[in-house]
Amino acid sequence: MVAQPQIREGSVLLEICLDSVESAVNAERGGAERVELCAGLPEGGTTPSAGMMAAVRQKIKIGMQVMIRPRGGDFCYSADEFGIMQRDILIAKQLAASGVVFGILNVDGTMDKERMRHLVELARPLKSTCHRAFDMTSDFTQALDDLIEVGMDRVLTSGGRKNVVDAMPTLAQLVQHAQGRISVMACGELSKSNAKAVIAYSHVREVHAGLNTTVTSAMKFRNQKIAMGTLSDAEYQHQVTTENSVRELRIAIDSA
């Protein structure tokens, strides 16, 4: 049975973006109602492995959204990449995800409605969220109407800005235009210091945040002559979401 988030009456739902079992457990303990499970967070999030989906689902009872993104970069996908997205949605369904997260654009910056509709229908009965491909569209109002037309349940957006505080008027306009036909979920450097203002101004009922803290590797032997990745100084550290950081954001949200 697919787990569903338990939302406090009158509360704004908190979703945490993360990439590990440890972070997912901490998010649940800290008061999040849902996680967005990804791999490749430095690239903005890509599809996690089947093993990761299964492990996280086994450890938490709250909602688990799964990122469906075959690679980093833009959101205009080839036929092969679209095929991968379809297969990954089926895997997420088999592994008891609560929902899937995806977005596909045409070369002119409009929503690829035909392929988006196909993925929405393939995912059902899971909920479908359009990720920040929305923020890369050429016309937010038209893109929102397109998402409603194809049956998307939710859109994740920072209003087209890096920091959602700088786009609060745009976010409020999107919420007003949606008129409850689709949920608008705010993101973009959301924190305990700005969450209350963002919620009060925009009237969103869902927010999304990444709260990673750098953890230093326990490795004692370190070969400094070679690096396995392209990120500078990243070989001997990784990112974890802490229970306390989620709890602090939860408290800030509840005060809104």
E strand or H helix at 169, and its extent? helix 168-178
E strand or H helix at 238, and its extent? strand 237-241
Res 226 pLDDT > 60: yes
pLDDT for residue 3:
43
pLDDT for residue 232:
64
Res 166 pLDDT > 80: yes
pLDDT digits (tens, 9 = 90+) for 22-56: 999 999 999 999 999 999 998 999 999 999 999 99
- Contact assessment for residue 91 and residue 53, using Cβ atoms and an 8 Å cutoff: yes
Rounded CA gap, 91 and 48, in Å?
Answer: 11
Query: Is the Cα torsion angle 219, 224, 225, 228 positive or negative in sign?
Result: positive
Mean pLDDT of 163-171: 96
Mean pLDDT of 120-135: 98
Mean pLDDT of 182-211: 97
pLDDT for residue 8:
53
Mean pLDDT of 120-139: 97
pLDDT for residue 224:
83
Rounded CA gap, 126 and 119, in Å?
Answer: 11
Res 123 pLDDT > 50: yes
pLDDT for residue 2:
42
Mean pLDDT of 207-235: 85
Mean pLDDT of 124-151: 98
- Contact assessment for residue 217 and residue 238, using Cβ atoms and an 8 Å cutoff: yes
Residue 228: pLDDT band (50, 70, 90) is: confident
| Whether the bond into 169 is cis, omega within 30 of 0 | no
- State the average pLDDT for the chain: 94
Query: Is the Cα torsion angle 167, 210, 180, 132 positive or negative in sign?
Result: positive
Structural domains of the chain in order of their starting residue, each with its CATH number: 13-211+245-254 (3.20.20.380)
